[in-house]
A and B are shown apart, each in its own frame.
Chain A
Amino acid sequence: MSTITPRAGSVANEIGKGLLDLVTGWREMVIQMITFPVFYLLIVLFIGRGQLRADLLAPVLIGMVALTFIHEQVNRVFWSYQGDIQSGVLEQTYLTPLPSALRILGRQVSAAVAALPTALSVLATGYVAIALNGGRLAFDVRILVPVTAIAVGTGGLALILCGLTLVYKRIAIITQVSVAVYAIAGGTLVPLTSMPGWTATLSRLFVPIAPGIEAMRNILLTGPHSGWGPAWLLLQPVLLLGIGVAVFTALERLARKRGTLGRY
């Protein structure tokens, strides 16, 4: 038998495969790099009643960047998992000494990397639009903390959806709706401070992008600071990831019992 590498090797393996898939599907990435900035500008136009208002461009830009990550991490990973089930490769990937949740986390990392070109395209569009409207959005390296928090918390959500797929299969609609609900409830378009108190509380508790978006707005935009502070920003994604691993493991056990692991 060959030497067993640390579990990190398994994550690296998944990241490598995810990036190979990304290269294979480069056309999809190019389409996203074009459509997401257009989508961003349209949102600002609609909210601004036909005008690209400077006061809307920056807050929506931050939400849109976060949305890019949640879209990639949830949709890309969910559909790749569904593809594995449908093609019958999933069972083969289970014949490993390594925990399957690690593989999904590896896919999360590659999905986060896959989100970067689109996120950068949206950012570049936003910077240009803001500059053309006489505004300025200064880059602050501290935003890497909420960006990472968003990516980690979204990993928890993706784990739950992948676990549900193992048992219930045709849950694509749940994935689509959950991304849409999270996009709205996460404060992508409307800041949490503008939402009813109970809605903002639920969002800060459960929506993986909500504290991250709030923190990015706090860092990059002037104005009153909101949210539950940096401790919650770091704690919430870790909790969501932990819940994701626990739910995934339980659903995987149920799939093994019911025999639905590789069935579609």
Chain B
Amino acid sequence: MNTPAIDITNLSKTYGPTGAPAVDDVSLAIQPGTVFGFLGPNGAGKTTTIKIAAGLLTATSGGVRLNGFDVRTRRAAAMSQLGAVLEGSRNVYWTLSAWQNLVYFGRLKGMRKAAARSRAADLLTELDLWDRRHEKVGGFSRGMQQKVAIAAALVADPPVVLLDEPTLGLDVAATRTVKNWIATLSADQGKTILLTTHQLDMVEELCDRVAVIRDGRVIADQPTTELLSRFRRRDTYEIRVEGGPDQLPLLPGGFTAVRDGDGTTITGDVADPQQVYALVDRLRERRVVLRSLTQVQPGLEDVFMTLMKEPRHV
């Protein structure tokens, strides 16, 4: 096993002497080249964790290492490993042009001017912003501004990238652009990406591994496929029939019926498929006309919602 690109160890943060912990004993080891989805409801501790990892906030206990460099004790070396897009912030100067921003942030990261200019040119070309490089960022659309923010985070070509809600407020097209870029950064450039977002379809598509945090504690941390399959032990079936629910036989436990236009949809969450077959037989006996029978695979959103409802987890 390699040295984790992001190594969070027993991290805790409490604001004030009597406050509840915003982050409580969080440990995550994120391997190089991984796209890591960090999920949780608002106020769960995602941004606090990210800010500690970025050295913007001091932990009450525990620590974070970026490619082996402790953020607290070897800050300069750790910051050389890092680029970040932070949630709800402009991240770049709107009064400056895209070009000026990238050169400024490149030099802020310690690059020489010529290197910063060369890299800025590459990034702006890659993002289709080259023709508008001398326009002020304040005049750009939200999607373009976010592109500049991500480019600024990547200008020094850091191996570790923290993306805190990078698609917040973006339209469908801009979200797709950001999503494609994240995929490219990981697949082609081997960057380690810690991604937080409420767009779970994006996490399911992009992330190799997912951790879920609730009330400051990590309640799940698994490869995405394993996390999904863990919740596939109980399968969800959807049976669509003609007519209203009043014609149905008494449904066994675990099944619910809801009117769906001129028909009814019966949904069941069962451990054994035989329960479904038995129900179908009973529907036939009652001469209920079946329209469809489908097995619904739980997506990450279903997993997330289930985790949020459960009292305790792994």
Residues of A within 8 A of B (CB): 1-5, 9-10, 12-13, 16-17, 20-21, 24, 87-89, 91-98, 103, 253, 256-259, 261-262
Contacts and interface: CB of A to CB of B under 8 A. Distances in A.
Interface in B51-71: 51, 54-58
14 contacts: A2-B115, A2-B157, A3-B110, A3-B111, A3-B112, A12-B107, A13-B104, A89-B90, A91-B56, A92-B84, A95-B83, A253-B58, A256-B58, A261-B56
Contacts of B109: 2, 95-97
Given A91-B86, A98-B108, A20 B91 contact: no
Contacts of B189: none
The 5 closest A-B pairs by CB, nearest first: A88-B89, A97-B76, A4-B110, A13-B107, A2-B111
A103 B7 CA distance: 29
B91 A261 contact: no
A91 B47 CA distance: 13
B119 interface: yes
A10 B106 CA distance: 10
B227 interface: no
Given A4-B110, A92-B105, 9 more contacts: A2-B116, A2-B157, A3-B115, A17-B100, A92-B91, A95-B54, A95-B82, A257-B58, A262-B89
Interface in B79-94: 79-80, 82-84, 86, 88-94
- Does more than half of chain A's interface fall in helix, strand or loop, or is it mixed? helix
A94 B55 contact: yes
B216 to A, nearest CB: 14
Contacts of B55: 94-95, 256
Nearest to A24: B95
Contact of B93 (A10, A89, A91, A94): A89
The dominant DSSP class at the B interface is loop
Nearest to B84: A95
B298 to A, nearest CB: 36
A87 B83 CA distance: 19
A31 B156 CA distance: 39
B89 A91 contact: yes
Contacts of A1: 80, 156-158
B289 interface: no
B90 A259 contact: no
Given A87-B90, A95-B55, A9 B156 contact: no
B110 A9 contact: yes
Nearest to B156: A2
B76 A20 contact: no
Contact of A259 (B15, B93, B94): B15
A257 B119 CA distance: 34
A96 B110 contact: yes
A92 B152 contact: yes
B79 A96 contact: yes
Given A2-B112, A92-B105, A97 B89 contact: no
Nearest to A253: B58
B36 to A, nearest CB: 19
A10 B104 CA distance: 9
B9 to A, nearest CB: 19
Nearest to B111: A2
Contacts of B119: 2
A39 B96 CA distance: 32
Nearest to A96: B108
B197 to A, nearest CB: 18
A94 B108 CA distance: 9
A258 B84 contact: no
A16 B57 CA distance: 28
A93 to B, nearest CB: 6
Contact of B107 (A10, A87, A92): A10
A257 B112 CA distance: 32
A24 B93 CA distance: 13
B251 interface: no
